Amino acid sequence: MPEHIRAHSLMVTRIALVIAGRLKDAGTTLSIPLVRAGALMHDIGKTPALKRGLDHSEVGRQICLEHHFDEVADIVGEHVRLKDYRLDGEFSEKEIVYYSDKRVNHDKIVSLEERQAYILDRYGKNHQALRERIQENFRLCKKVESKLFSRLNFGPEAIPLLALQVRIGPEADVNPVADYM
């Protein structure tokens, strides 16, 4: 995995662990190890997909399935576009990874608006139908953000500070979110 994709994945993981840990503390049923695995692996298909001009989330999903990481496969497969989402449903690991990915541009934490502007500029130039799909995806992400933060005692603006306090490397504790709780 190229270093820039690794750095992006690590930052997405930090955000995902903050949200998942705090949601779990608020009484939701979530798997922290599944969130961690999904966030770390969400772009596993990026390099092979770019080489062949394919959808990297679907390539990543297939890689996970080939290696029998079935639970992670759906998270990886839906980190770009959620396919099965209910605003009034239970909280899910894939919603957390989907949202967390939208908050990271390269390896920097940004707002949803900043990330959307980047995606539109990079991929949506002169492609009105694609621009509309990107904008619709970010409208959904705003709804996911509202859902996630409805159970948290902080807002999206606190993510940069909280995420940088999370340890996720080999030196991390079994529960990497415990240090800042």
pLDDT by residue for the chain (181 residues), tens digit each?
789 999 999 999 999 999 999 999 999 999 999 999 999 999 999 988 878 888 899 999 999 999 999 999 999 999 999 998 888 889 999 999 999 999 999 999 999 999 999 999 998 888 899 999 999 999 999 999 999 999 999 999 999 999 989 887 654 443 444 433 3
Q: Which residues contact 8 (CB under 8 A, 6 or more apart)?
A: 43, 104, 106, 107
Place of tokens 């707002």: 111
**Sequence spans of domains, the chain:** 3-81+90-175
CATH architecture of the domain covering 3-81+90-175: Orthogonal Bundle (1.10)
55: its two tokens = 């959808």
Side chain identity, residue 159: I
Is residue 132 classed exposed, middle or buried when 0-12, 13-18 and 19+ CB atoms within 10 A define those classes? exposed
